[in-house]
Chains A and B, each alone.
Chain A
């Protein structure tokens, strides 16, 4: 069978209305050959976990600029685990202070990409860390 594309969910948890970054990333990952599910603004952790489950994505990328990352991101990773999605790679981007990163990693966010990260860097990270698809 032909190689299957890695499937990525790009979601914006919380209430900030700034989705330009998420859209640019979604578009950029599309150009890198990923199948990107984009779910839009103002997602609850519940919505994100449901979308990840129904779409059977390999990666969940969370974009957050509101400052609520310490509340929302651990909630997303917990819901994913509760639904058996513990092999899904979770990454985050947006405005997240360095001091918060260890706690987020502890909560199951594998990587945090700050401002200035290139799409090629994100793509390379996903390719080397996402689960390998079943035959």
Chain B
């Protein structure tokens, strides 16, 4: 076994055995995409899939971190071990990041059943870091029952978390928009549960009622089942539960935990098979394209490539033809298995 392989096995086994330092170091390796991380993930993956992966997403300031803290409290009450992966954005200019999600989650310093890890997005768009799913896999292997994936503050179309999580919770603040906002495509569409947070503010109940009306009334059960009979593989809109919470006081959080459990139980009946397959597909293809890109990129950096790129920059060549040229020179010239 390679040196990295031996260290990976040691680190992975220690993390699974409950060594929190080893777990933290393994997560760093995952973030940095080292050879150790890859070897460890190969080893750990077969024993994962046990944790409930819950994505928490929503606009900046909607209360994601506060809700995560409230969920930790609730889950600890019933004795479940909870891990959090909290993503904040990296600066596109300096690469630096301010990771501030822990501020609201500090009450569990001496509780071994809680593990919180902040991650910078490191240039990855979509609401997570490129390595967030792998980080969740490691935490799953380490035995956490509930793994909460908190995204960066999102807009309307950062829907990546839905592919990474078993259950996706979308947070809304009261009075965030009218009914048309609720029927736009995007973030709300991927919600398994919609939470209107800051329930103590005026308008929270009305916002929830509007969302309920627009989101759950998309198709009557009869029409939905007819559609299912007609085309079993046609994607159907989700019909999310809409809940109201006040994360800062914990109000409504037990109901949210119960809703998460219900969604997970429903997923066990086969409804989540497609979601799991989609996640596997996304993961594998992401690795494939990363490796292809690395392989091509390495092989394609030369004067010929540079002059092709220059031709595109000067509008003498269109980007599609340029891409075809590059691909042909790489695959045609030197076929690969």
B24–A39 CB distance below 8 A: no
Q: Which residues on the A side are within 8 Å of B103 (C-beta)?
A: 38-40
Q: Which residue of B lies closest to A51 (CB)?
A: B102
A34 on the interface (CB 8 Å rule)?
yes
List which B68-118 residues lie within 8 A (CB) of chain A.
Answer: 90-91, 94-100, 102-103, 106, 108-110, 115-118
Q: Which of B35, B108, B117 contacts A55 (CB 8 A)?
A: B117
A47–B91 CB distance below 8 A: no
Q: Which residues on the A side are within 8 Å of B20 (C-beta)?
A: 53-54
A residues adjacent to B (C-beta < 8 A): 1, 4-5, 26-27, 29-40, 43-44, 46-47, 49-51, 53-56, 83-85, 133-135
The count of residues in chain B whose C-beta lies closer than 8 Å to any C-beta of chain A is 33
Complex CA gap A131/B21 in Å reads 16
Q: Which residues on the B side are within 8 Å of A134 (C-beta)?
A: 29, 34, 36
Q: Which residues on the A side are within 8 Å of B293 (C-beta)?
A: none
B94–A30 CB distance below 8 A: yes
List which B18-72 residues lie within 8 A (CB) of chain A.
Answer: 20-21, 24-25, 27-29, 31-36
Known: A37-B99, A43-B106. A4 touches B32 (CB 8 A): yes
Q: Which residue of A lies closest to B117 (CB)?
A: A54
With both chains docked as a complex, state the minimum distance between the C-beta of A4 and any C-beta of chain B, in angstroms: 5
B residues adjacent to A (C-beta < 8 A): 20-21, 24-25, 27-29, 31-36, 90-91, 94-100, 102-103, 106, 108-110, 115-118, 120
Known: A38-B103, A39-B102. A53 touches B24 (CB 8 A): yes
Q: Which residues on the B side are within 8 Å of A1 (C-beta)?
A: 32-34
Complex CA gap A39/B99 in Å reads 9
Q: Which residues on the B side are within 8 Å of A26 (C-beta)?
A: 98
Complex CA gap A30/B94 in Å reads 8
7 pairs of residues in contact across A and B, judged by CB atoms under 8 Å:
A5-B97, A33-B91, A38-B100, A46-B109, A49-B109, A51-B116, A134-B36
